[in-house]
Amino acid sequence: MSSLKDILAALQAAVRAGEAAGDCIADHSGDAFARILLQQTRLATARHRESRDMLRAAILVTKKKAK
């Protein structure tokens, strides 16, 4: 079973990968398919970022309660 830190690391990697993919796709912004793909990549990255931030906050609250 994965620990919360492992899940957080995976979400951080997903955000970085999404940002990098978005940068690559943006180079082809004249293509209609690339614009759609870029939009979907940005949405997915935003969801990963939101999940990462919520998990990070939950970990901090858990640490504070443990003290």
Dump the DSSP string for 4-66. HHHHHHHHHHHHHHHHHHHHHHHTTTTSHHHHHHHHHHHHHHHHHHHHHHHHHHHHHHHHHHH
What is the average pLDDT score of the chain? 90
- Residue 1: band (very low, low, confident or very high) from pLDDT cuts 50, 70, 90: low
What pTM value is reported for the model? 0.79
Per-residue pLDDT reduced to its tens digit, 6-26? 999 999 999 999 999 999 998
